[in-house]
Amino acid sequence: MSEDEQNLRRLKSWDKYQAAKNSYLSHRDRLIEWGNVLRPLGLALITDQMSLTNESYRSVPSMEDFSTGIEEFGKAVAELKRAWVCARDYGFPVDPNDLKEVGGL
């Protein structure tokens, strides 16, 4: 492999790491959003059923969206781990906290 090809691979590894990190953060934020919707609804279901209205559950994700969201989050975690290792191996300054946040290798 030529030096130019190696440099291109090296740069692509950094781009993949950045894209994987952004994807992970996006998927994580969506799950957090859903948690923020579900937490008060769950509390009302347990303690204050009389306060529930049709509006109480309108922003709850469908079962399909929820299932797909969790699956995509898992894929984003796996891709971030792979991209982190690759970028690290090429000598890029990867954030060790990224790996800690997703449970390590």
> What is the per-residue pLDDT across 46-87, written as a single tens digit (0 to 9) for each?
999 998 888 877 888 899 999 999 999 999 999 999 999 999
The structure's pTM equals 0.85
What is the average pLDDT score of the chain?
A: 92
What are the extents of the domains in the chain? 9-101
Integer Cα distance of 34 and 69 in angstroms: 10
Integer Cα distance of 15 and 99 in angstroms: 17
Integer Cα distance of 31 and 68 in angstroms: 11
